[in-house]
Amino acid sequence: MEFDLESQPEIVQTIAGYALQGWELALTWLLSPAAWSQFALLIVAYLAAVVITRRLRPALARLLDPGDSDTVLAKARRFVAQFLPLVLPLMAYVLTGIGESVVRSIFDSGAVIAFGKRVFLFLAVRAMVRDIISDPFLKLLGRYILIPIAALYALALLGPVATRLEATVVPLGNLSFNLLWLLQFLAVGGVIFWLGQWSNSQSSTFIQRQEEMRPSLRQLVAKSVEFLIFGVAFLVLMNIMGINLSALAVLGGAIGVGLGFGLQKIASNFISGVILLVEGQATVGDYVELDGGEAGTIVKMTARAAILETYDGRWIVVPNEDFITTRVVNYSDSGSANRYEAPFSVSYNTDINAVPDIINTAVSKLDFVLDTPEGPDCELVGFGDSGIDFAVEYWVNGIDDGKNKYKSHVLFAIWNALKEHDIEIPYPHRVVEMKGELRTTPL
């Protein structure tokens, strides 16, 4: 049966041509004794690989098992152990390669066994993507780029497909590029920037472990290393893909003009962030309060803004410029000790000379109250309408959680101490004086 494909689109004719070539090749293999011998050799090589793998893989697993050790050598052994699923297809590939040399010396032909080698290599790539790669981005690249490339290579179609993609040119204004270049750019760029992200994560972890450095300096070094890594990754990508960096000069000038006019705030916040990291006036972990009323603990500092976490769990994004141009109160900058005050009142019938010693003794017994820079200090504040007003000042480590974390315990201690010494805590009351005769109206 013959089909007239002249009226069909070019791609249909191309596919039909490849299908016809495959059919003719299959018929040639089916009628060739050399092809049958190569098929048999492929089966023998695979079965031999299965037998060897069943004995070799458990031994390798025991050899590479580091137990609970966390040394550099143990990490290397764990890394190598991840590749054990590749033992079977690679062993079959090696045995098939040995058989190919034998077949070619006998029959002067090895097309079938070469096809088997490519299939085993495809199975190795598939096992690596499915069982070994765990990173989501790399798994995505493997699933949609690496496996299709391996499949085309196994079918001996990688060359023709690459030629076809290279011949397909996409115009873009004054520029143009082919589809093969675009796919290479996406794949290489993805791998390079993933390596940059991984390198940045490792370097950031190492820098954060350097406790002898100030937190702000660690942040600055980590950010500098991040910019350096991705800058180098960008330059490497441009060089690999053959892009002339001088062509980016116009783009860089346009970006500079944009920063000068339309992105002034972003540039100002970026420079303010660098100043903050260099001077260390505010860093991650500090509790700060700004003129605008924003207050909280700095949990993250980015290139544009700092993120404050309030005591009720809300996050406030504060531009870095606000830390430079406005007044900022840093409760953690001069040390972790902070002073607070707890007010109270006693009755006018109280011997007020004894109150300071009673309260100072009671508050000093609390385990969170510090003796330095100063112990509890009870002071007379004034004479109120209902009682005599006092306040006790005390120092603690850290920040009072909404003025309740420490103050509540201090007020409990004051109450118990006053009750223990029979000191009355006043409450508002009024005396009503009635002048004149009180008259009652009979019912």
Q: What is the mean pLDDT of the chain?
A: 78
Question: For residues 153 and 4, which has the higher predicted lDDT (pLDDT)?
Answer: 153
| Phi, psi torsion values for 353, nearest 5 degrees | -70, -25
- Across the range 130-155, mean pLDDT stands at 85
Amino acid in the structure at residue 365: K
Q: Quick one: pLDDT band at residue 411, thresholds 50, 70, 90?
A: very high
Q: pLDDT tens digits for 283-306?
A: 777 888 888 778 888 888 877 788
For residues 440 and 42, what is the distance between their CA atoms, to the nearest angstrom? 123
- Across the range 268-292, mean pLDDT stands at 78
Q: What are the CB-based long-range contacts (under 8 Å, 24+) for 306-310?
A: 306/273, 306/276, 306/282
Question: For residues 166 and 13, which has the higher predicted lDDT (pLDDT)?
Answer: 166
| 329 bridge partner residues | 289
Three-state DSSP class for 391? strand
Express as a percent the part of the chain with pLDDT over 70: 78
Q: pLDDT tens digits for 397-407?
A: 877 766 667 88
User: Dihedral angle at the C-alpha atoms of 313, 318, 320, 326, nearest 10 degrees?
Assistant: -110
Residue 36 has pLDDT above 70, yes or no: no
Q: Where are the alpha helices (DSSP H) in 241-397?
A: 249-261, 264-279, 320-325, 355-364
Residue 321 has pLDDT above 70, yes or no: yes
Residue whose C-alpha is closest to residue 241's, from 188, 162, 301: 188
What would the two tokens of residue 64 be?
Answer: 């590479």
Residue whose C-alpha is closest to residue 333's, from 286, 289, 374, 373: 286
Least confident of 142-151, 299-308, 389-398: 299-308
Q: Quick one: pLDDT band at residue 344, thresholds 50, 70, 90?
A: very high
Quick check: pTM over 0.95?
A: no
Query: Domain 337-420, what architecture?
Result: 2-Layer Sandwich (3.30)
pLDDT the model gives residue 360: 93
- Across the range 252-275, mean pLDDT stands at 69
Question: For residues 416 and 236, which has the higher predicted lDDT (pLDDT)?
Answer: 416
Query: Domain 279-330, what architecture?
Result: Roll (2.30)
Least confident of 15-24, 127-136, 315-324: 15-24
Q: Quick one: pLDDT band at residue 379, thresholds 50, 70, 90?
A: very high
Domain ranges of the chain: 32-156, 178-261, 279-330, 337-420
pLDDT the model gives residue 415: 94
Residue 29 has pLDDT above 70, yes or no: no
Residue 1 has pLDDT above 50, yes or no: no
Contact 280, 292 (CB under 8 A): no
Question: For residues 247 and 153, which has the higher predicted lDDT (pLDDT)?
Answer: 153
